Amino acid sequence: MHYIGCVAIQLDSSQSKATSKFKPARGDLIMRPITAVVLLGSFVSAAIAQQPNPAPRPRPMSAPLQVPNPHYVTFALTQEVNAPADVTWARVGKFCDIGEWAFPDCKLIQGDGGVASERSIVDEVLVGKTAHSYTYAQPVRTDVKYNLYHGTLEVQPVTSRTSRLVYTFLYDNSMLADDAARAAEIATRKKRFSAFLLNMKTLAEGGKVPASAKEAAPPTPEDLQTPDPHYVAIPMTIVVNAPVDTVWARIGKYCDIGEWGIPNCKIISGDGSSLGTVRSIGNEVLVAKTRYSYTYTQPVREGVPYIMYHGTLEAAPLTRKTTRLNYTLVYDNSNLADDAARQKDMDNRRTRFTKMLENMKVLSEGGTLPAGALGGSGAPRPAAPSQ
């Protein structure tokens, strides 16, 4: 950014009056102030010219990643259900329904069961949600490498009377000893959660799950990096005059953020659409997706408190010709000083991301963004303030 300095000099009017009885010629009265202005202008110009150009302010360096070379693994398990999607989701899709099909005695620690809620099962946080899906994550523990574990439960309609449950996982298994250990861990996880899907099928079809079909609740970690988090959600929406397929094709690819939000997005690793893909904006990782939505997060950095920042972008059809875009942010703001600081932070984020939604609307409706619509000088910025 360049700043232009202006020097203002005000002459006292009394100084322009003659102090002697000598009356100067009219030309002298004109030339004297002009000469003074010229000389003053030359002096100021020379002074400015001699000033060195200000050096650009260096960009703040990000702390190093806690896991610099992650190995993200992802897989999906499915289960056919003889019940409509709405019936299935109503029976097994609430955040603490896990207490009926997997681990007993689930309780909500904070929240109402919606976005930003925390449940007693390993202190898991609901970080993304659509009408028929939710994504959860586990918090960071002290002195333990964070594996970025995310699970997404979704129900998809198949026919008017049947549906499909899909359970998708994304996590980093680079901490395990070798390929054999990684393969064994994946096989064990698949076996456990396939059994949970069968339990969900039973419940959705009107049956009962015996206690013997559930596992004992896993112990709650006591060494959380943030012992008393305060999770918040910022939901934002905008209506677009275009069909959902058109909208999502225009703004829903993972690096489309470079066109409507933060410029110069590049894919660092992955294919740009699969879970585990990393983009250059904040090293953000694609951790969940459905047909018309995706959820991302940022990795843990050394020496920086992790605020569980997540964003979910979704396109929801309203009519054949209109769509509602939903952008929801979830994070822990307990690190801020007080309620006033927390509210200011939320207001700033809402203002910034609402502008991004407005940009998406313009693009989805066939328009072009004016210069400067992304803000700044075009240099990439992190999608969230430093954690």
249-285 pLDDT, tens digit each: 999 999 999 999 999 999 999 999 999 999 999 999 9
What DSSP state is assigned to residue 95? T
Residue range 10-19, pLDDT digits in tens = 333 333 333 3
Fold match, 65-225 / 228-387: yes
Q: Which helix (H) or strand (E) covers residue 99, if one does?
A: helix 98-101
- Residue 361 above 90 pLDDT? yes
Residue range 276-293, pLDDT digits in tens = 999 999 999 999 999 999
Angle at which helices 339-364 and 244-251 pack, to 10 degrees?
110
- Residue 127 above 60 pLDDT? yes
pLDDT of residue 322: 98
Q: Look at 139 and 218; give whichever has higher pLDDT.
A: 139
Residue 218: pLDDT band with limits 50, 70, 90: confident
C-alpha closest to that of 173 among 69, 59, 279: 69
Could you state, in order of their start, the residue ranges of all structural domains in the chain?
65-225, 228-387
Residue 134: pLDDT band with limits 50, 70, 90: very high
Q: What average pLDDT does the segment 316-322 reach?
A: 98
Q: What average pLDDT does the segment 91-107 reach?
A: 97
pLDDT of residue 60: 53
pLDDT of residue 13: 38
Q: Which helix (H) or strand (E) covers residue 314, if one does?
A: strand 310-317
Q: Which helix (H) or strand (E) covers residue 295, if one does?
A: strand 293-297
Residues 6+ apart with CB under 8 A from 312: 127, 128, 129, 130, 135, 288, 293, 294, 295, 296, 326, 327, 328, 330
The whole model's pTM is what? Answer: 0.82
Query: How open is the CA angle 117-121-122, to the nearest 5 degrees?
Result: 95
Q: Whole-angstrom Cα distance, residue 68 to residue 75?
A: 22
State the chain's mean pLDDT as an integer.
Answer: 86
pLDDT of residue 237: 98
Q: Tell me the CATH number for domain 228-387.
A: 3.30.530.20
Residue 221: pLDDT band with limits 50, 70, 90: confident
Asked if the 65-225 domain carries CATH number 3.30.530.20, the reply is: yes
Residue 188: pLDDT band with limits 50, 70, 90: very high
The DSSP bridge partners found for residue 239 are: 324
Query: For tokens 């861990």, what's the residue?
Result: 185
Residue 61: pLDDT band with limits 50, 70, 90: low
